[in-house]
Each structure stands twice: as C-alpha cells, then as structure tokens.
Amino acid sequence: MSIATATDLTVPTLGGRYHFLLRRLHSVTGIVFGGYLIVHLLVNATITQGSGYQVQVNKIHDLPFLPGLEWGLIYLPIIYHTIYGIWISLTGQPNVVNYRYGKNWMYLLQRISAAILFFFILFHVLALKYKWFGPNLSFDAHDALQTVARHMQEYKFVAYGVYPIGILASCFHLANGFWAGAITWGLTVSTGAQRRWGVVCLILFIVTFGAGIAALMAAMAQRF
C-alpha cells in the first residue's frame, strides 16, 4: 500500500530558491502591462472622434526613446508574464467541482482568459505589426483610422468574433488580475478592503470593456 505524502501533492515549483522572486515578477509584469492596456484601450476609444484618433497615434509615435519604452513597458513584461503564466496555468489546481465559491470560479476564469489572450495577442501583433495576414489585416500608423476600419470591415469574423472575445478576455483578466495583485502585494488584507477594491476593479472592467467595444463599433461604422 502506498501512502501519499505532502511532498507528492506539492505542485512543482520553478526557479528553486528564486521561486518567490519569479512569482512577484509575474505579478509586477502583469500590472505594468495592465497599465499599458488601459492606455491602449482609451487611445483606441478616440476612434469614436474620427480624425482625432490619428492625432493620438501621432503623439505616441512622437514619444522620445519609443523602442526603449515599447520593450520596457510592453514587450518584455508581456513575454515574461506569458511564459511564466503558462507554467502557472499548467501546474494550477482548479477546484470548482468541489468548492463552487465565486473566488474559485475567478481563479479558473483567470486561467481560461489567459489561454484566450495567448492566442489573441499573438494574432493581434502578427496581423497588425508584422502583417502576417496580408495588407488588409495590417496597421499603418500614418493612416491609422483607415487601416483599422478596413481591418474590421473586410473580415466580419474578426470584427464580430475575434475582437469582442479578445477584448472581453483582456478586460476581465486585467480587472481580476488587479484585484488579485492587491492581495499579492499585501495591500488588501481584510475582507472589507478586498470588497471595496473589488468595486473599483469592477468599474475598471466596465470602463475598459466599454472603451474597447466603443472603438470596435466606431471602426466598423467608419466610412471611407
């Protein structure tokens, strides 16, 4: 007869004695990329102002040290967060079957949204930045409004399927991640603090999701 010990049930850790550090780095990179995502969605919402969108895109492209900012605040954080996040997801132990509490569902949904985001971000970057799927699914910073509108109008499955799902997964993962991140950093210790921060994160979800869908609808309605 074999007896399971605590060691057998322990999920393998990555990084040995640096595990804690790597875990905190995962949290901080998620928060940094989340900050970028909020700006990204709000800038995209200016598509509702028509030509005002190009003005905002120009401001971003005129920023000094742009490649450094992009690598420091966008690419490196999301690359690390994704690689370590895949490991966390593969070694996680969802338990909603036994314990159907709201927070257990959030734990599972954070991982499901992460999986969707992996494919969505890959598609988004390869299509818009690296033009993998042809000129109609690419982005030209000098002709921002037209290219975004063409992107949404030429491919209905992208406008009505890929983007709404991608935006929903992004905004949920962002808001729920910010809620969990406050616990990670010891900012919300009491249940009261977690509830109040939960309200703020819910508002963050509504605002970012609203901004994303407004941008999408404005791009679809654009005439050119």
Q: Which of 105, 118, 123, 197 binds ligand HEM (CB under 6 A)?
A: 118
Identify residue 218 by its one-letter amino acid code.
Answer: A
Q: Are 149 and 224 in contact (CB under 8 A)?
A: yes
Q: Most distant CA pair in the chain: distance in Å?
A: 74
Stretch of 10-18, 58-66, 85-93, 189-197 contacting ligand HEM, by CB under 6 A:
85-93
Q: Which of 114, 149, 158, 215 binds ligand HEM (CB under 6 A)?
A: 114
88-97 long-range CB contacts below 8 Å, 24 or more apart? 88/26, 89/114, 89/115, 91/11, 91/12, 92/11, 93/11
Place of tokens 């057998």: 8
Q: Which two tokens stand for residue 97?
A: 């079957």
Minimum CB distance to ligand HEM, residue 46 (Å): 20
In the stretch 145-184, what mask flags binding to ligand HEM with x, by CB under 6 A? -------------------------x--xx--xx-xx--x
In terms of CB distance, is 116 or 143 closer to ligand HEM? 116
Total number of residues shown for the chain: 224
Please report, for residues 73, 112, 187, the alpha-carbon distance to residue 67 in angstroms, rounded to integers and kept in the order given: 10, 31, 33
In terms of CB distance, is 71 or 156 closer to ligand HEM? 71
Measured CA to CA, the distance from residue 163 to residue 114 in angstroms comes to: 15
Minimum CB distance to ligand HEM, residue 125 (Å): 12
In terms of CB distance, is 27 or 153 closer to ligand HEM? 27
In terms of CB distance, is 28 or 220 closer to ligand HEM? 28
In terms of CB distance, is 151 or 173 closer to ligand HEM? 173
Closest among 207, 212, 224 to 44, alpha carbons compared: 212
Please report, for residues 15, 136, 196, 212, the alpha-carbon distance to residue 9 in angstroms, rounded to integers and kept in the order given: 18, 51, 35, 42
Interface with ligand HEM, residue 77, by CB under 6 A: no
In terms of CB distance, is 144 or 174 closer to ligand HEM? 174
Q: Are 214 and 48 in contact (CB under 8 A)?
A: yes
Minimum CB distance to ligand HEM, residue 207 (Å): 14
Place of tokens 């969707």: 116
How many residues sit in the footprint of ligand HEM (CB under 6 A)?
Answer: 26
Interaction site with ligand HEM (CB under 6 A): 27, 30-31, 33-34, 37, 81-82, 85-86, 88-89, 110-111, 114, 117-118, 121, 170, 173-174, 177-178, 180-181, 184
